[in-house]
Amino acid sequence: MTQNLPLQSLQKLMILIPAYNEQEVLPESLPILQKIIQELIDSQQIAPDSGFMIVSDGSSDQTWPLIEQAHEADPRVMGLKFSRNFGHQNALIAGLTVISQQKLADFVISIDADLQDDPQAIKQMVEQYRAGSEIVFGVRNNRDSDSWFKRVTAETFYSLLGKMGVHLIPEHADFRLLGPKAITAFLQYQEENMFIRGIIPLLGFESSRVYYARRKRLAGKSKYPLLKMLSFAWDGITSFSIAPLRLVLSLGVIFALFGLVMLVYTLIVKLRGATEAGWSSLMISIWIVGGFQMMAVGLTGEYIGKIFSEVKHRPRFTIEKKLLK
């Protein structure tokens, strides 16, 4: 077990919480996290001025007023308010950016406001960090709280990305600890279409894993319905791999070879004088090849669209208000 350090040697922890319309869950989750932080402070695992950074991602409910109230009651609770909804990943990036620029903490643990990721695992993460890990991944050891469909699609997603050469930590979402070196390295990645789960393993620092049981939401509804999850998965695939383009190229070669075979077959039948009206086969071929061409153009357009977004260099988020110490 790691020995306690003098208070002046203890490092500051910041809990980073992206929040989008979480008025129902924040009053429940924040006290739980505050209790855990206080226990870590009392046991001299982290510095007494450790705190929280909650990012309101364009929430339209009472999320921001709740953050303001929490800040008035406890100045260690800080907040950022986006001018509109920029997305969960950009909320994490904004929090890390401000924490780094303002030197608000030495290391950061990100966790969703619904606390489906077990907050008690934070203590193990801190232990792993103090033992030398620069990155600590929170990894689910079960998905009992998820529906059958969500479990299957999640497993398919991780398997598919792995086959495409994208290195992900299976069953890891955005519950992780980042040390100062990892934060600095991560913020150097400036792409518009950021897929954080794929980038963090690329940083290459010493890492470890903490396993925990996935829980049900404390309150409220999931902010990632099916269509949004599919969109997120697609962004992950197209941001890290050109395998879909290679697949289209491979299919194109197969269709071309099939066309050559049919050409030879047609010539043979013609020379034998056994030709027949082939309206049905002709129409089927047109629909198949035409559909494939449309898929190929659409897929290529998806990548071109990402390039278009990148070259404009628009800001990934706009902060309307800040609540800092």
Find the helix or strand (DSSP H, E) in which 189 lies: none
User: Do residue 128 and residue 271 come from a single domain?
Assistant: no
**Which of 186, 180, 162, 184 has the alpha carbon at shortest distance from 172?**
162
Same domain, 157 and 257: no
Is the predicted pLDDT of residue 5 greater than 60, yes or no? no
Read off the pLDDT band of 1 (50, 70, 90). very low
DSSP tag of 40: H
What number of other Cβ atoms are within 10 A of residue 293's Cβ? 13
- Answer yes or no: is 288 within a domain: yes
pLDDT in tens, 203-233: 989 999 999 988 776 555 655 555 666 666 6
What's 136-150 look like in SS3?
EEEEECCCCCCCHHH
> What is the CATH number for 23?
3.90.550.10
Report the domain count for the chain: 2
- Flag whether 83 is in a domain: yes
Does one domain contain both 130 and 263?
Answer: no
Q: What is the pLDDT of residues 141-200, one digit of tens each?
A: 876 656 666 666 666 766 666 666 667 787 888 899 999 999 999 999 888 777 888 889
Query: What's the confidence (pLDDT) of residue 2?
Result: 46
For residue 1, being part of any structural domain is answered with: no
270 with 219, same domain: the answer is: no
Are residues 255 and 201 part of one domain?
no
CA neighbor of 50 nearest in space, from 177, 137, 201, 166: 177
Distance CA 150, CA 269 (A): 52
Residue 231 lies in a domain: no
Q: Domain check: are 52 and 199 in the same one?
A: yes
**Average pLDDT of 268-276?**
66
Q: How confident is the model at residue 304 (pLDDT cuts 50, 70, 90)?
A: confident
In a domain, 167, yes or no: yes
Q: Is position 54 within any domain?
A: yes
- For the record, the structure tokens of 169 come out as 């930590």
C-alpha–C-alpha distance, residues 110 and 96, integer Å: 9
Q: What is the mean pLDDT of residues 38-56?
A: 95
Do 159 and 295 lie in one domain? The reply is no
> 204 with 81, same domain?
yes
Residues in the chain: 325
The answer to whether 179 and 129 are in contact (CB under 8 A) is: yes
- Mean pLDDT taken over the chain: 81
Same domain, 101 and 189: yes
Residues 51 and 36 in one domain: yes
Is the same domain home to 208 and 268?
Answer: no
Give a yes or no: residue 2 inside a domain: no
**Amino acid code (one letter) for 277:** A
pLDDT digit string, tens, across residues 77-126: 999 999 999 988 899 999 999 999 999 999 999 999 988 899 999 999 99
pLDDT of residue 125: 96
Cα distances from 273 to residues 72, 266, 267, 270, in angstroms, run: 91, 11, 10, 5
Do 306 and 319 belong together in one domain? no
**Which of 85, 88, 52, 46 shows the shortest CA–CA distance to 235?**
88
pTM for the model stands at: 0.74
**274 located within any domain:** yes
Q: Look at residue 299 in the predicted model and tell me its pLDDT.
A: 72
Domain containing residue 292: 243-312
Measure the CA–CA gap between 62 and 162, rounded to whole angstroms: 40
Contact 112, 180 (CB under 8 A): no
